[in-house]
Amino acid sequence: MLILDENLPEDQKQLLHKWGVRFRSVGVDVETYGALDENLLVSLRRLSHPTFFSLDKHFFRADWAHSAYSLIWLDVSDNQSADYIRRFVKHPNFDTQIKRMGVVARLHSDGIVYRRLPIKAFRSVPWI
């Protein structure tokens, strides 16, 4: 299950929908609009294998890693967010829900920087 933060632009959500990428949105399907990050993390633990995408850097925190979800920081411009979400979920290292669980990642133009529990070190992989 893909969860998009409330800060992702509507046109990017529409583009994902057009591509057939299914997702839920914070403020509509999950939590309330403007929910505190800590409350959002509690909600994510209650869902089935969610992958949460945000344009907010503060979600790239190793101490927020949890085996029940993944947190993905889109370190790209707003108008590229849909493309990077699609690229991430198709990447061979992250192309299933199970491969994404316990991951905290930063997506940027050169690749993906991530940490996967229980490993404490961050790793990098290029885009395919």
pLDDT tens for each residue of 24-56: 888 776 755 555 666 788 888 889 899 999 999
- The count of structural domains within the chain is 1
| pLDDT at position 26 | 85
Instruction: Extract the tokens encoding 127.
Output: 């885009």
Quick: pLDDT tens for 52-88: 999 999 999 999 999 999 999 999 999 999 999 999 9
Domain hosting residue 37, numbered range: 2-125
| Whole-prediction pTM | 0.91
C-alpha–C-alpha distance, residues 15 and 47, integer Å: 24
